[in-house]
Amino acid sequence: MSSVGVHSYGSISQKISGIVLTAGTARWWVISFAACSLLTLVFFGAIGYLFYTGVGIWGLNVPVVWAFDITNYVWWIAIAMSGTFISAVLHLTRQPWGASISRFAEAMTVFALAIAGMFPILHLGRPWFFYWLTPYPNVMALWPQWRSPLVWDFFAILAYLLLSLLFWYLGLIPDFATLRDRAPGRGTQITYGLLALGWRGEARHWQRRQSAQLLLAGLAVPLVVSVHSVVGLDFAAGNTPGWHSTIFPPFFVAGAMFSGFAMAMTIVVLLRRAFQLGDYITARHLDNLAKLILAMGLVLAYSYVMELFMAWYSADRYEIYTALNRMRGPYAPVYWSLIFCVVVVPQALWSRRVRHSPWTLFGISILINVGMWLERFMLIVTSEHRDFLPSAWGMFYPTIWDWAILIGSIGFFGWLLLLFVRFVPVISMAEMRELIDHQRGAS
Amino acid sequence: MPPTDAREPPFEQDTLSESAPLWRSLDELPARTASASPDCPTLDRRQFLRLTAASLSLAGAGACSRAPQQMIVPYVHAPPQLVAGDPLYFATATNLGGAAQGLLVKSNYGRPTKIEGNPSHPGSLGATDIFAQAAVLDLWDPDRAQAVLHQGQVSTWDSFVEALSARIAKLSVNAGSGLRVLTESVTSPTLAGQLHALLERFPGARWHQYQPINRDHAIEGSRLAFGEVLEARYHYDQARVVLSLDSDFLAAPGVRYARDFVGARRADDAQPDPGRLYVIECTPTLTGSFADHRYAARFGQIETIARAVARAIGLPVADGPDAAVLPGDALAACARDLKLHAGHALVVVGDAQPPVVHALAHAINEALGNVGRTVNYTAPISALAEPQGESLRQLTEDMAAGQVDTLIVLGGNPVYNAPADRLFGQRLAKVGLSVHLSLYDDETSALCHWQIPEAHFLEGWSDTRAFDGTVAIQQPLIAPLYGGKSAHELLALLLGQTASNDYQTVRDFWSKTRPQADAEVIWQQALHRGAFEGSQLPVRPASIRSDFLRAPATSIPDNTELDLIFAPDPTIWDGRFANNAWLQELPKPLTKLTWDNAALVSPKLAQQLGLVNEDQVELRYRGAVVLAPVWIVPGQAEATVTVTLGYGRSRAGRIGNGAGFDAYVLRRSDALWHGQGLQVRKTGAKVPLATTQHHFSMEGRRPIRVTTLDQFHRDPALVAGDLHRPPRPNMYEPVRDEGYAWAMSINLDACIGCSACTIACQAENNIPIVGKSEVRRGREMHWIRVDRYYEGAAEQPRTYFQPVPCMHCEDAPCEVVCPVEATVHDSEGLNLQVYNRCIGTRFCSNNCPYKVRRFNFLQYADEDTESLKAQRNPEVTVRMRGVMEKCSYCVQRITNARIEAQKGNRHLADGDVVTACQAACPTEAIVFGDLNDPRSQVNRAKASPLNYALLGELNTRPRTTYLAKLTNPNPELSQIRVGDAKADG
Amino acid sequence: MNPEHAAHGLLAEFPSPAALLQAARAAHEAGFRRLEAYSPMPVEGLVEALGSTDGGLPRLALIGGIVGGVLTFALQWVSVTIDYPLNVGGRTPAWPGLIPATFEMTVLGAALAVFFGVLLRSGLPRLYHPVFNDDGFAAASSDGFFLCIDAADPLYDPRQTRSFLENLQPVRVAVVDA
């Protein structure tokens, strides 16, 4: 049970809004913010050069026309998965313990999704025409080609991004009100006052907000699943050996949850340490999260086995070759290191001791995220580089610009998160107060 | 085929004029102002209108194939039938390696943009080789020599004329002693006439010939065999069994022999005996790849084999070392086969082989009674059929002795490509006045006193002989872009005919040879058809001598030493095409290398020396040293290193400079083609090479289906073909094309892998080049690539070629995944790529099982260089970066043909639409047409039991299908093929 | 404070959710109808105690969803059959390919309807409200629980209502200026 019991309604407001409203800024924040700002500059610098010169600055070629670009896209959108999903599920199942992690999980979703959403545009040969995917008869009176999974992506990302934002914001309104009412300065007060939309805690408002959150949560779950199924279809709808498989949608959903949870874990551990939030984010939270990761890890391991089985069972010469090529071909090191990160490492979570040591969890979650990136790279590149005609086989080697954009995007993500923890309550105060209420009621 | 027989307006005598100011094409006018040429018009509005009128009149009256100048003169009344913008075709000819290829050149408003073969020219029959296709790029090459240079300083033609006249005055007093003219092989009767006239005027002068790829050994072989120099003219269409001793007769330059040979062995014509080809060679060639039986042999062994064959058919040949160089009784079986087909057999020998081998071949052909059937002899087509090595020796020795005070070098690049031990460059310093007439300001130009820009063959008048002697008039399509001069003009100058231009020279020469009365008509016909009727050389009786048969073997191979073999480069020949980007980026048929030459070694040798591809080695031969990258070639004779000539240029131009290594450094006058005692040392460094195909095994996927002829006869259904397979199910109602339904068939049994289709496509569709580093990344842009696969042992592989353009699938996977409808189907079954709609997701390429789509990863098309803009096909969009492109079945040609048909209010007939690749193909392997026309060629091809769809199991229902390859192995030797054909399944 | 002075109503602050809940019930039994309760977090039963129920959001969601879905599907179908039919990969128009977009837009339509439904029904955003005039009201977003009886209530009488409220053991009672 989380130990918010020692807190009163007031002390919660005190503690959590304090993080935001205190004038001074912690040294670790300044340092990491500087670092992330630098990487953010790298990110946008690289994008600038990309737009100026063309996707040729990457290591792409024929047959490998997608590599880091789409790998990053899938990786980020998978990270974006957990946030909304976690808090939605916790909402629906009325899990009180979720209150403390849902807020920044949602934030994580919004940021990761924003970054993921950039890549489909970045990867275009002529990115300035990306709006031709919007559903209206644009240039030459042509519509989008609805059968293309890329068009499905467009709708999926749009819906997911908007819903996540609304969900997040709806949760934030009362906390903004708290900040408004506790703001030391006029400026802060006006800012948060505007964000709070004049929230005053009327009983009916609370009630509507609650049912709205419930509805959005209810909508979010199927949406999240559909989004990652669509991402899976980007590949499954193609005929490339190694992609053309019905296992992909569920497989991608599982993978997304997996990496999402892992990223949530990474951030939880850091936040907990940074703001001494031990009372709110307790060992129990970490433990539960770790169990989820373990479970998802097993699902994923199962999908890998199924992939191999289906390749063999299909008796399709091309599928079989691709499967073997992943394990024995030029990219075998990628395959085996991802197996290690994604299948082997999580097994440590069976141990209670591991689940209760935050820094071990932190390390594991990092490894998992690395592994999941490698997995997407493996799925995309090893399938492309040797498909049907041996004469057309080729290799992909990343350039410095591939790396710049990958690392830059991570920096940008951190940059957004740092701004978030500085200016927005990282834990939902309203829900915390409810929690106290529950516990009082219980005791 | 292009309309050569367009309406011909009555020829008007009064439109003829000697010194008409030459008209230049509109497009390159702006660019011209930069050039140093004095007669460059500056363009004001009135002139512009005049020029426009000029271009119209040219375009119109040019509807018959006559020269621009004559059309241009009047500058008046454009003929009524003119349609502005319609391209026109002019007949002309090019000459490489001593034999002419007749061409039809497409002219857009006076800009030559595309070269096709001339169907009525014996050397072409409508097809072209890669060099002819790429020639149009040379014309527009911005790196061409653009000004007269004196001691490297920009000068003028007039001051050159001055300088030369002074020299001529001096020469006339001493009967021209000290005057030397150096040319490459001359087949132009007019040029030869001028040269002889020169020698008459200056008895002391000498005419020397040298080109690095020469036929000296063939000439000497003929002397050995007949006591005189005769030209062998082969009739491969008559030959049922051919034995090639290191001869690559299927390959460029020239396309006629390939057409004859392949045409005669088509399995689809009810040909009872499609013939059999044995090839014994040192380095894999196109001919070897096409053979039914190919054996690798070391250079020195070829003579041994030739002797063995001769002995086997009963010629009294001196016993040499026995020919146990071929596996089993291959040699005996081959000899039996030859005997069995006496009169319909043929033995041919490569130019590199020593004279005695040529002589032996003549003797064998004689003995088999092939002469008069599969081979004839004529007078040589070259005007001066003497060994050029000897000729060069004399010249260089005179130069060394200081006996040469005036040297006129007409074309060629001896400083770069003369044998190293001739020290040509060094000795050139001893020459009083040296003049170089050349297309480029090259290595030789740098060391000559004067460099005169040469007129490209599309810029000047001349004539040239085809392989059978037929004379074609080489007529210009455009006035010299950079004030270039032709050899004719330079010689006219030496002959004191200062007023004469090349048109007059050629014209006069032919009016003299023809009866005055109908001279005009004959001339017009020659221009129109592109060749003088009946001008081929008469067959000459050849009586074989037998003395040489008893002479002992000349070349006894020393098996302890490494062989070094020089070969012309498959794409840049002797180096003259080094600055042609199309040819540089064209994958060499067998190595698939671009932008580089390499030291070719056999897998075995590589293993012995611990070499892998791209390893740098030091090649040391008789003191000379070059550093070269290694490339391992299956089928290469062991203990043999082959280097191709033409690379390592220092003054080729921006494209050619620094590419590859210079093999001429190793070349000796007594070892032009082959030497022994090469030393190879691994330096440890790596040299990056750019290849377009990394994987050569078919992985049992059977992209190429192959079977033996008798297997095919036994059970056609069993063969590759899809004919007897049930159509695969389709979830959707198949879409019917109402009007036309375009489709293509590629006959793998006819494809020799020459890559002419690739270059033709590049020229037709404005396909950009990307450069070596981009090719290394795997970003080459060719719309039709020629895949090459190996099968069997690395030492003696079977080699297969497969041209792969867009398949235009009826259920195209690429279209379904495009988010913006940038690739869709049209009503005639074309899989369209809409450039201006493409946003570059590249998903279509992912989803294309054939990987025929090409993406502009960067801005590849050169949008800055004016002259290159002038070269482009105005009917094809130049693509920007970020868009996908691919084979369009030459949609612009389809559209043009449809418009023409609609004007005539008729339905397109079979053959009205000819794609660029189809037009260029020397062996007619590519057939294109309408599926809705039951009698169309393409329907007939697809009805063949050999017809199959590439990756048909994916059910993409491609419109482009293939005809399986057939081999016809000798039953006595058929341990190979049959097994492979099965193992392949 | 001057009772004659026009007031928005009377505001009573309570120490705990439970106290607020009781007070709300009492006030409702006493016949007050124009009541409003303010709390820093949702309090179960409070709305019922105030004698009002509020639903309808689910219906909104349904309507939003249907509108989003139907429009999207119709748009796609019309574009491929009537507006601009094309032969794409030899496939004739078929509905399965149109489902993903339809589904996503269904969900989005519902979500938008819900979100804006909440704001509109709650009259938000509304940056100014009389209760803000009470200096202690800031606690409503942290640890204060308030019950406000509107001056416009028929039973409202400055003195009696105040005494009524004071009987509910509030922390304090104050007049809220209009």
Burial of B384 (0-12, 13-18, 19+ CB in 10 A): middle
How would you list the strands of the sheet with B88-96, edge to edge?
B88-96, B99-108, B111-117
Token digits of residue A128: 């300035």
Task: Please give the average per-residue pLDDT across A85-98, as a whole number.
Answer: 76
Which H or E element spans position B102? Answer: strand B99-108
- CA gap B715, B692 in Å, rounded: 37
- CA gap B916, B921 in Å, rounded: 9
Q: Which stretches of chain B drop beneath a pLDDT of 70? A: 1-85, 267-272, 319-324, 499, 514-517, 555-558, 717-725, 974-985
Which H or E element spans position B867? Answer: helix B866-871
pLDDT in tens, C4-32: 457 888 888 888 888 888 888 888 888 88
- Interface mutation target, options A53, A65, A133, A235, chain B, most CBs of B under 10 Å: A65
Token digits of residue A226: 């559909």
- Which residues lie closer than 8 Å to B799 by C-beta, 6 or more apart? B284, B288, B289, B590, B634, B635, B753, B788, B789, B790, B791
pLDDT in tens, B450-501: 999 999 999 989 999 999 899 988 888 888 888 899 999 999 999 888 767 8
Considering only the beta carbons, identify the residue of B789, B846, B882 that sits closest to A240: B846
Token digits of residue C87: 């032969």
Output phi, psi for B708, to 5 deg: -90, 155
A243 near A383, Cβ under 8 Å?
A: yes
Note if the bond before B253 is cis, omega within 30 degrees.
Answer: yes
Q: Specify the pLDDT at position B409.
A: 95
Q: At which residue do the structure tokens 């099982």 appear? A: B849
Please give, rounded to a whole number of angstroms, the shortest distance from the CA of B831 to a CA of chain C.
9
- Whether C56 contacts chain B with CB within 8 A: no
Task: Show which of residues 147-206 on chain A sit within 8 Å of chain C, judged by CB atoms.
Answer: 147, 151-152, 155-156, 158-159, 162-163, 166-167, 170, 174, 177-178, 180-182, 193-194, 197-206
Strands B276-281 and B293-296: parallel
Note if the bond before C40 is cis, omega within 30 degrees.
Answer: no
Please name which of B208, B210, B276, B264 lies closest in space to residue B235, comparing C-alpha atoms. B264
B637 near B297, Cβ under 8 Å?
A: yes
- CA gap B749, B266 in Å, rounded: 7
Token digits of residue A48: 């600038």
ipTM: 0.90
- CA gap A298, A254 in Å, rounded: 10
Within 8 A of B824 by CB-CB distance, chain C residues are 86-88
A343 near A300, Cβ under 8 Å?
A: yes
Q: At which residue do the structure tokens 């392997």 appear? A: B925
How far is C-alpha B459 from the chain's CA centre? 20
The DSSP line for B211-227 is -SS--HHHHHHHHHHHS
Q: What angle do CA C109, C113, C119 make, to 5 degrees?
A: 150
- CA gap B267, B289 in Å, rounded: 18
Strands B563-567 and B674-676: antiparallel
- CA gap B702, B791 in Å, rounded: 11
Considering only the beta carbons, identify the residue of B810, B826, B827 that sits closest to C90: B810
Query: Who wins on pLDDT, A266 or B323?
Result: A266
Considering only the beta carbons, identify the residue of B700, B703, B853 that sits closest to A62: B853
pLDDT in tens, C53-103: 767 888 899 999 999 999 999 999 999 999 888 889 888 888 888 999 999
User: Is residue C1 over pLDDT 70?
Assistant: no
Residue A421 pLDDT level (bands cut at 50, 70, 90) = confident
Token digits of residue B900: 């023409």
Within 8 A of A428 by CB-CB distance, chain C residues are none
Q: Which residue of B has its CA nearest to A381?
A: B846
Output phi, psi for B274, to 5 deg: -70, 0
Considering only the beta carbons, identify the residue of B733, B816, B827 that sits closest to C89: B816
Residue A103 pLDDT level (bands cut at 50, 70, 90) = confident
- Whether C88 contacts chain B with CB within 8 A: yes
- CA gap A140, B824 in Å, rounded: 14
Residues β-bridged to residue B90: B105
Considering only the beta carbons, identify the residue of A10, A137, A163 that sits closest to C108: A163
A424 near A107, Cβ under 8 Å?
A: yes
- CA gap B447, B451 in Å, rounded: 9
- C42 with A197: Cβ contact below 8 A: no
- CA gap B546, B315 in Å, rounded: 9
Task: Show which of residues 799-828 on chain B sit within 8 Å of chain C, judged by CB atoms.
Answer: 809-816, 821, 824-827
Q: Specify the pLDDT at position B21.
A: 34
Residue A46 pLDDT level (bands cut at 50, 70, 90) = very high
Which H or E element spans position B296? Answer: strand B293-296
- Whether A391 contacts chain B with CB within 8 A: yes
- CA gap A9, C59 in Å, rounded: 34
- B735 with C87: Cβ contact below 8 A: yes
- Average pLDDT over chain C, rounded to an integer: 85
Amino acid at C166: E
- Architecture of the domain made up of A4-442: Up-down Bundle (1.20)
- CA gap B848, B829 in Å, rounded: 17
DSSP reduced 3-state for A149: helix
Counting every residue written for chain A, the total comes to: 443
Q: Specify the pLDDT at position B844.
A: 94
Output phi, psi for B96, to 5 deg: -140, 135
Task: Give CA separation, A419 vs A104, A170, A426, B941, in Å.
Answer: 12, 19, 11, 69
- CA gap B360, B546 in Å, rounded: 10
Within 8 A of B812 by CB-CB distance, chain C residues are 89-90
Query: Who wins on pLDDT, A308 or C169?
Result: A308
- Domain boundaries defined on chain A: 4-442
Note if the bond before B419 is cis, omega within 30 degrees.
Answer: no
pLDDT in tens, A310-319: 889 988 889 9
- A125 with B842: Cβ contact below 8 A: yes
Residue C41 pLDDT level (bands cut at 50, 70, 90) = confident
Burial of B33 (0-12, 13-18, 19+ CB in 10 A): exposed
Token digits of residue A38: 């630098």
How far is C-alpha A281 from the chain's CA centre? 20
- CA gap B586, B756 in Å, rounded: 10
Q: What is the pTM of this model?
A: 0.89
- Average pLDDT over chain A, rounded to an integer: 88
Please give, rounded to a whole number of angstroms, the shortest distance from the CA of B700 to a CA of chain A.
9
- Domain boundaries defined on chain C: 3-54+127-177, 57-121
Output phi, psi for B753, to 5 deg: 80, 25
